[in-house]
Structure 1
Amino acid sequence: MKTYQALTAIALSALALPALAQLTPVGTWKSVDEKTGQPKSQIVIEDQGGVLQGRVQQLLRPGADPKALCVECKDALKDQPMVGLPIIQGAKKAADKDVWEGGKILDPENGKFYTLRLTPIDGGQKLEVRGSIGPFGRTQTWVRVQ
């Protein structure tokens, strides 16, 4: 019986480790429209030497044109394809907190960049994405894609 209990404990520990390893914004996320509750896009966030970068991997809205361009974007991003568009740049992990900040996030719908804060929640299964200008901003909750 003790062998069974030991094996059960080992198996449960092995299942818990991936959950702990997920307490990071790195991964693939589904953004959700706050008004409709429908998925908008799939975003991939990568760690490049301690700095997070994110790009649109796929458009998920029903009827979305996979060849759509960022017509509201400015400068080098103007008229670039939405799929592959870099929307997160420069976020770094805050000291002693599971928060990434100091970067920028692009809202492709208006072409504006906002100050960024990323906070994994629900054991890393969701991500609070806060974009702000000064004291004004909004927070979206993205869902991790398994």
Structure 2
Amino acid sequence: MKPTLPLQFLLGLLLAIPAVVQAQHAAPTGRWRTIDDDTGKPKSVVEVYLARDGSYAGKVVEILDTKDGPNPLCDKCTGSNHNQPIKGMVILWGLKPTDEGWGGGMVLDPERGKAYRSKLRLLDGGNRLGVSGCIAFICRSQEWLREP
């Protein structure tokens, strides 16, 4: 007996679900918990999103480490970010797809007030985000954790 059209449709839909779930994690978009390099403790939550120009950007949406107060200012930043609240600040911008993830953009470290050339790479099936920032040959890397 041949399956009816609705049954074929249902089977096709069920087979497509894993591909949809995987596709959701094929991009760096979402909320990511940043981890402090020195203490290993959660520091903030950054939301990575697709910007209007087609590049990826990220802004701080939550401060978790409140040693500098509940809403610290970027006192070491220069330009328009100087003395602005870190919560709400765009700290990633201009990232475009590459063979190894996303690159060509910048990442701002509000604690140091410096911007670095940046690359992103999904790790652990999309549950971790490798973030690196470089000035010349000096680089720092972090792994951010995807928020549930």
Could you state the TM-score of these two structures normalised by the residue count of structure 1?
A: 0.85
Aligned match of 2:112: 110
Aligned match of 2:144: 142
Aligned match of 1:42: 45
Instruction: Give the paired residue count.
Output: 140
Alignment of 1:1-146 (within 5 A): 14-15=17-18, 17-48=20-51, 49-63=53-67, 65-94=69-98, 97-146=99-148
- Tell me, in whole angstroms, the C-alpha distance in 2 between the residues paired with 1:42 and 1:109: 15
| Pair member with larger Rg | 2
Tell me the alpha carbon deviations over residues 99-118 of structure 1, each in whole angstroms, 9 at most, x when there is no partner: 11111100001100000000
- Tell me, in whole angstroms, the C-alpha distance in 2 between the residues paired with 1:8 and 1:98: 34
- Tell me, in whole angstroms, the C-alpha distance in 1 between the residues paired with 2:77 and 2:67: 21
Instruction: Tell me, yes or no, if the aligned pair for 1:20 and 1:123 is still in contact at 8 Å.
Output: no
SS of residue paired to 1:54: strand
SS of residue paired to 1:76: helix
Tell me the alpha carbon deviations over residues 1-29 of structure 1, each in whole angstroms, 9 at most, x when there is no partner: xxxxxx99975752453134202111110
Tell me the alpha carbon deviations over residues 27-70 of structure 1, each in whole angstroms, 9 at most, x when there is no partner: 11000112222100000111013211111001111555232111
Instruction: Tell me, yes or no, if the aligned pair for 1:68 and 1:81 is still in contact at 8 Å.
Output: yes
Instruction: Tell me, yes or no, if the aligned pair for 2:45 and 2:61 is still in contact at 8 Å.
Output: yes
- Cα 1:141–1:67 shift into 2, 3 Å: same
| Identity %, equivalent residues | 35
Q: Any unmatched runs of 5+ in structure 1? A: 1-6
- Tell me, in whole angstroms, the C-alpha distance in 1 between the residues paired with 2:125 and 2:43: 23
Aligned residues: CA RMSD:
2.2
Aligned match of 2:7: none
Q: Any unmatched runs of 5+ in structure 2? A: 1-9
